[in-house]
Amino acid sequence: MNTKALLKQDARVIGLVGLAHGVSHFYHLILAALFPWLKTEFGLRYSELALLMTVFFVISGIGQALAGFVVDRVGARRVLFSGMAMLGVSALVLSNAHNYAGLVVGALMAGMGNSIFHPADYTILNQRVTRERLAHGFSVHGVSGSIGWAAAPLFLTGVASATDWRTALLSAAALPAIVLAILWWNREALRPDPIVRHAAGAQQGGSFDFLRLPSVWMCFGFFFLTALALGGIQSFSSTGLVKLYGMSLAMATSAFMAYMLASAAGMMLGGFLGAGRKNHDRTIAAAFALAAVLALLLGLAVVPAWGALVLMALVGFFSGIAGPSRDLMIRAAAPKNATGRVYGVVYSGLDSGLAVGPLLFGLMMDAGKPQFVFAGIAFFLLLAIATATGVGSRTRATASAAA
């Protein structure tokens, strides 16, 4: 295949996987974006609302670890299609909820659908994208996720304000249906690599050997800590900004949007930084250190309201820079022919953190301590730096020993 054809193939695969990933992240926030409506409709406390997010991410985390094994056995494409369909069904169930239990069931189903995306996405990217463009593929993958996060509150609050929250969820159900049709139409580009599938199947006796690697669990810890911070940003940064700075909810939502869009810009830059470097943990450490300092400034409320919006954008930008380096760090730490399993287990740390984070920060908000939300975000980012440098050190030591 010539260079032009390879570029076209890579762009097609990266675009399709990115589109699917954007839908996954959109669904992360279909409940959080509607918290004001759900709180009024069902008379819920902040901690009860946060528990819905916990249900979503606990189920997603458990399912993600299991989905990695399924991906390595039956291929990523089938798993990707099934997850996309489940997301659409979950929105239909949520739109028809008439009590808190109905919301819990819908959150559970959405978590099941979400669980497949990281092991499926990263397996497809590693199998179908050429090595020299893989960092850019990871960058687009991260950017599409940020766009999904940014689009969810805009779309859902817009529809809910114009109509009601049930109509917003019904409208959200159409998104995975449309994307599933696009993926099916382009299914040949997403075909599983038969050589990798055969190799994975030939090593069934050692399917769990990768769990003995300390670097895998350090990657899990890294994702857990960063997700704790992200859970605070997603669920309660807007409410916290309103209480700390006295800004309107519309302005606070704009600050969250600024975080997401700046994060996407940071990921684009991070793709170029990741492609040109080997010590990915050092890029992560520098970016997270800056983001943590800025989050602390937000919690201290030493800037005017417009300054808080700028700080939120900068936190997002520096956090985004770390994204592609994070994925390349995991790829370097993963054994061959275990891509789905490693990404499934490691990214279950993300879901675990997102399950605990909203509940933890929801308790802070119930206690009337919005400044603790931003202090906690900074604290967890700083802890994540230690796990990243640990992974990097072990990967370099393993490479030196092999050489």
* Contact predicate 251/233, CB 8 Å: no
Closest of 305, 318, 21, 312 to residue 151, by C-alpha: 21
Q: What's residue 237's pLDDT?
A: 87
- Collapsing DSSP states into helix, strand and coil, what is residue 124? helix
Give the alpha-carbon dihedral of 389, 391, 393, 394, to 10 degrees: 160
* Contact predicate 337/43, CB 8 Å: no
* Contact predicate 382/289, CB 8 Å: yes
> Angle at CA 263, nearest 5°, toward 220 and 224?
15
Spatial CB neighbours of 246, under 8 Å, sequence gap ≥ 6: 305
* Contact predicate 14/127, CB 8 Å: no
Predicted confidence (pLDDT) per residue in 134-174, tens digit = 888 888 888 898 889 888 988 999 999 999 999 999 999 99
What is the chain's length?
Answer: 403
* Contact predicate 266/320, CB 8 Å: yes
In the chain, where the domains are located: 8-192+211-398
The CATH homologous superfamily of the domain defined by 8-192+211-398: MFS general substrate transporter like domains (1.20.1250.20)
In order along its 403 residues, the chain shows pLDDT tens digits of 677 888 888 999 999 999 999 999 999 889 988 988 998 999 988 778 888 988 998 898 888 888 888 887 888 899 999 999 999 999 999 999 999 999 999 999 999 999 999 889 988 998 888 878 888 888 888 889 888 988 898 899 999 999 999 999 999 999 999 999 999 999 998 887 654 444 444 444 456 777 777 878 888 899 899 989 988 887 788 888 999 998 888 898 889 888 988 988 898 888 888 776 778 888 999 999 999 999 999 999 889 999 999 999 999 999 999 888 887 887 777 666 666 777 788 878 887 887 788 788 888 888 888 899 999 999 999 999 999 988 888 777 776 776 6
Q: What is the CA radius of gyration of the chain?
A: 20
Rounded Cα distance, 56 and 357, in Å:
12
Predicted TM-score (pTM) of this structure: 0.75
Six-digit token string for 81: 């299609």
Q: What's residue 134's pLDDT?
A: 82
